[in-house]
């Protein structure tokens, strides 16, 4: 991955040199600020520990919870096999009676709990991460913009692909709400004597899955973990706990800056609010003042920010299998 980043940096230099006359004349405060952003020193926690904490938080947030109602719903779906057996044995009347019973039971359940319309059955996690710093992000975006301006769209696409730093969470659901209609259609086909078509409809319904994907920016997840670890450090009795806690907050602030640079909710005003809250916390630590309440508010704020901007935003990304 380091080789890729170096290669991209070289491309950025090549593209920049092609327009040297223009870039030599441009020197804004914004660019100066970009250059000034430096990555903080490493914290005590290792990258593996941070990644493990992120994974545990995600597993808790997206845990597949089984209730009595979901168990009952799954049991009803399991009974659909009885219908298929009746059809295979030419017991059409028994098959239709069973279908009527199952339709009624499913509709009662869904009316009782609309959340059963989609029953989660599995959650898969995938990390798609490019380890870069903020100056490198700006080099890549600058090179990509130049490629777009010059009509090298495929190159621009490849460059921008390396600005991905995400935890992709894919939840697989059984679309329970679609089964009553499928069962009615199967019953109608039985009435017409179309046994094979009826069985095929039921099999297709049982094999239909819905996948929803949520893409969570790792820089924001890391910032959340750094804030948690800073708070835990301040509750401890280490001699240099202030310095350690401040370093965690420096890293949290940097990760939020990185998330913005990579375009994750870039224009959201809450980034500044989070940065200001971190700055206030750092001052409280330096002044030896109480921080517990402020840490709790900041942790809640970044959690709500993450869920509002990314959990809700991505829940419509649904595919059927």
Domain count, the chain: 2
The pLDDT tens digits for 53-71 are 999 999 998 988 888 999 9
Q: Do 179 and 279 reside in the same domain of the chain?
A: no
265 Rama class: left (phi>0) / alpha (psi -120 to 50) / beta: left
In 3-state terms, what secondary structure has residue 213?
strand
Whether 308 is in a domain gets the answer yes
CATH no. for residue 307? 1.20.120
Q: Is the pLDDT of residue 317 over 50?
A: no
Q: What does the DSSP assignment read for 236-281?
A: S--TTHHHHHHHHHHHHHHHHHHHHHTTSSTT-THHHHHHHHHHHH
pLDDT averaged over the chain? 84
**Residue 73 and residue 110 share a domain:** yes
The average pLDDT across 147-156 equals 95
Residue 187 lies in a domain: yes
Query: pLDDT by residue (tens digit) across 265-310?
Result: 877 788 999 999 999 999 999 999 999 999 999 999 999 999 888 8
Q: What pLDDT, on the 0 to 100 scale, is given for residue 290?
A: 93
SS3 content of the chain, % helix, strand, coil (to 5): 70, 10, 20
Model pLDDT for residues 174-214, shown as the tens digit of each residue: 999 999 999 999 999 999 999 999 999 999 999 999 999 99
Instruction: Say if 152 falls within a structural domain.
Output: no
pLDDT above 90: percentage of residues in the chain: 68
Indicate if 54 and 100 belong to the same structural domain: no
In a domain, 184, yes or no: yes
Domain coverage including residue 237:
46-61+126-131+215-320
Q: For residues 244 and 276, state if they share a domain.
A: yes
Quick check: is 23 in a domain? no
**Residues 308 and 198 placed together within one structural domain of the fold:** no
Q: Assess whether pLDDT exceeds 70 at residue 218.
A: yes
Give the integer Cα–Cα distance in Å for 124 and 38. Answer: 34
> Does residue 26 sit within a domain?
no
Give the C-alpha distances (Å, rounded to integers) separating 102 from 33, 79, 173, 296.
Answer: 64, 8, 20, 48
Say yes or no: 226 and 303 in one domain. Answer: yes
Q: Residue 22 pLDDT > 90, yes or no? A: no
Q: Which residue has the tokens 């989070």?
A: 274
- % of the chain residues with pLDDT over 70: 85
Of 208, 227, 258, at which residue does a domain stop? 208
In a domain, 245, yes or no: yes
């Amino acid at each position: 991955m380091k080789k890729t980043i170096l290669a991209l940096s070289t491309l950025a230099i090549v593209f920049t040199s092609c327009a040297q006359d223009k870039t030599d004349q441009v020197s804004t405060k914004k660019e100066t600020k970009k250059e000034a952003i430096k990555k903080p020193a490493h914290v005590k926690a290792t990258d593996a520990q941070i990644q493990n904490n992120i994974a545990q938080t995600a597993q808790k947030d997206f845990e597949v919870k089984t209730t009595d109602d979901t168990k009952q719903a799954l049991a009803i779906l399991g009974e659909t096999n009885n219908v298929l057996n009746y059809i295979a044995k030419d017991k059409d009347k028994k098959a239709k009676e069973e279908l009527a019973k199952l339709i009624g039971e499913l509709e009662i359940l869904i009316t009782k709990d609309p959340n059963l319309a989609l029953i989660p059955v599995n959650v898969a996690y995938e990390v798609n991460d490019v380890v870069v710093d903020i100056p490198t992000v700006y080099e890549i975006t600058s090179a990509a913009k130049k490629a777009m301006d010059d009509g090298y769209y495929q190159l621009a696409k490849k460059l921008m692909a390396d600005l991905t730093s995400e935890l992709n969470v894919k939840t697989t659901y059984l679309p329970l709400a679609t089964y009553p209609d499928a069962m009615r259609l199967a019953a109608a086909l039985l009435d017409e004597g179309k046994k094979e078509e009826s069985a095929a409809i039921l099999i297709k319904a049982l094999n239909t899955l819905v996948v929803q994907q949520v893409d969570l920016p790792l820089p924001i997840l890391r910032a959340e973990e750094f804030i948690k670890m800073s708070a835990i450090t301040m509750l401890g009795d280490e001699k240099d706990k202030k310095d350690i806690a401040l370093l965690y907050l420096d890293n949290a602030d940097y990760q939020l800056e990185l998330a913005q640079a990579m375009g994750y909710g870039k224009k959201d005003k809450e980034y500044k609010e989070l940065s200001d809250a971190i700055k206030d916390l750092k001052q409280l630590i330096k002044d030896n003042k109480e921080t517990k309440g402020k840490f709790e508010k900041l942790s809640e704020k970044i959690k709500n920010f993450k869920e509002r901007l990314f959990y809700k935003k991505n829940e419509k990304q649904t595919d059927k299998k």
